[in-house]
Structure 1
């Protein structure tokens, strides 16, 4: 196991800068998730740590050693890709042994490492099978096993679950969390799925256009997003945003006052409220009124898609037994302590 330190890392592809002055400290044994939309630089950053991409500036340290110019095979990392990349003609055992065999590890040690990885990943009954005879989840476990037998200091995962169906993704998330608890290894995981990030990470790194937007625990990012970008990306459904006006120090939406329970910061331009924090009441009895356009009933919870009288769309998360239907008029309450205010540049002004 090892810590990972990135200092002022830049990456250029010709005239295009993919990574901008990224500095991060990842602790020994930590599960860190890089998250962000497509093209934000998360996979480029992971591949830079692995040595598969050369960086244009800055340094990368693993376990206190500067590995900026070190070959990928000598960095003490193992990478699991989106594609399983298994040899179809080889058995599970041979796939897991292959890298060690190429590196000259003796047979007895290879077998011992494979046996231990198979036990941890519950693959003991599949070692003689070919990849074609395995499910998607089993193939992904083989790919992870191939990384485990290298006994790396750091595990790197590049969207490893994106090829799996929804149910299997949930199962594999649980298995990866359990694996991290067993191995207590440093793991860096890339995904565009904020649900994966929230459920798996000790620390989330939100990337935006090659820059670090915010670093923190899942609940830190949920409760205290530093920008509208983070607030919009973290949470499902996403945070609602409303254009607001400040009149004499008071907040107004569509001409109606919005109580905030505190001084309105200068420069506030948008109000943010999460769907689960909006209360339903009778029309005329709440802060705003809205008409229900669509209801998605999911069993234990329901999502209401509504149009405010001010014309903007909003999502409300309610109990699954809520009887509200399409076309109903409702009142909405926004708890002042749950309201976020953002400036024209997207900064969260309510964080002080």
Structure 2
């Protein structure tokens, strides 16, 4: 386990700046997720932390030790990549053993750590198989096992589940959460999938164009986003965000409000003529326990409402929509929360 402190970190590739003045504290034992769209800098930040990329300026500390210019091997980290990066000609046991053997661990210590990692990851029955004989999920477990045997201070995961199918991703997500609790380790996880971020993280770091947009718990980011970017990125379906127009009735807004927002589940669907605006149902997705209504207001604003699966609203019907005062989000012209 370890504490990590990043101060004023900047990263350039030639004349192109990839990271802008990143400041971040990660507590001992936290599960932190870096999330954001493609190209936002999340993998660059992870690789710079790992020492696989050099920083242009700034400071990185692990347990109060300056590792800004330290080699990866001297940072006491273990990284799990998107590609499993297993040796295909080696067995599971040999893949997990290789790094320890190169680094001069005794045969007894290597065997002990492999046995423990296999137990934790339920790989005991697969130790003599080669990667080609394993499923995608089993191969990813081997890659994680190779990290566990290093007994690092910090685990780094770079989109480790993106090559798996949807069902296996959910299963592996649950297993990683359990692994974090079992090892009580500091873990940093990179993903573009905000569902993974919401379900796994103690703390989420939202990145946008190389800058940290917001840091907080999943529920803090969901209920109190500090920008339009975070509001629309966190949550599925995304928050409804639109410019207030003449179709709105009796809604009190701040003078500087250029955009307003409301989560789909917080919209109240009423009879036509009631609430703050009327909208017509264009599409209804029935998902069993809930339904999603895709609506358009009189002025063409697109809105999504999440309702009960027993809701009887029909496509083509015009309904009223109300935004509760305590569920209304307001943003200025720069996209910052008011």
- Identify the TM-score tier after normalising by the shorter chain: over 0.9
Instruction: Let me know the Cα RMSD of the aligned residues.
Output: 1.0
Equivalent-residue separation in structure 2 for 1:214 and 1:265 (angstroms): 23
Partner of 1:12: 12
Partner of 1:250: none
1:325 aligned counterpart, secondary structure: coil
2:212 aligned counterpart, secondary structure: strand
Equivalent-residue separation in structure 2 for 1:130 and 1:161 (angstroms): 20
Partner of 2:68: 68
Displacement of 1:255 after TM fit?
4.8
The answer to whether 1:336 aligns with 2:291 is no
Displacement of 1:90 after TM fit?
0.9
Task: Return the TM-score normalized by structure 2.
Answer: 0.98
Following superposition of structure 1 onto structure 2, how do residues 145-184 of structure 1 map, counting pairs within 5 Å?
145-184=145-184
Displacement of 1:324 after TM fit?
2.1
Q: Gaps spanning 5+ residues in structure 2: where? A: none
2:129 aligned counterpart, secondary structure: coil
Following superposition of structure 1 onto structure 2, how do residues 192-341 of structure 1 map, counting pairs within 5 Å?
192-244=192-244, 253-260=245-252, 264-341=253-330
1:9 aligned counterpart, secondary structure: strand
Partner of 1:27: 27
Equivalent-residue separation in structure 1 for 2:60 and 2:295 (angstroms): 48
Displacement of 1:100 after TM fit?
0.6
Following superposition of structure 1 onto structure 2, how do residues 26-65 of structure 1 map, counting pairs within 5 Å?
26-65=26-65
Task: Return the TM-score normalized by structure 1.
Answer: 0.94
1:290 aligned counterpart, secondary structure: strand
Q: Gaps spanning 5+ residues in structure 1: where? A: 245-252
Equivalent-residue separation in structure 2 for 1:255 and 1:333 (angstroms): 12
Asked if 1 retains the 8 angstrom alpha-carbon contact of 2:249 and 2:277, the reply is: no
Equivalent-residue separation in structure 1 for 2:135 and 2:234 (angstroms): 31
Displacement of 1:218 after TM fit?
0.5
Partner of 2:92: 92
Displacement of 1:64 after TM fit?
1.3
The answer to whether 1:103 aligns with 2:84 is no
Partner of 1:247: none
Equivalent-residue separation in structure 1 for 2:222 and 2:161 (angstroms): 23
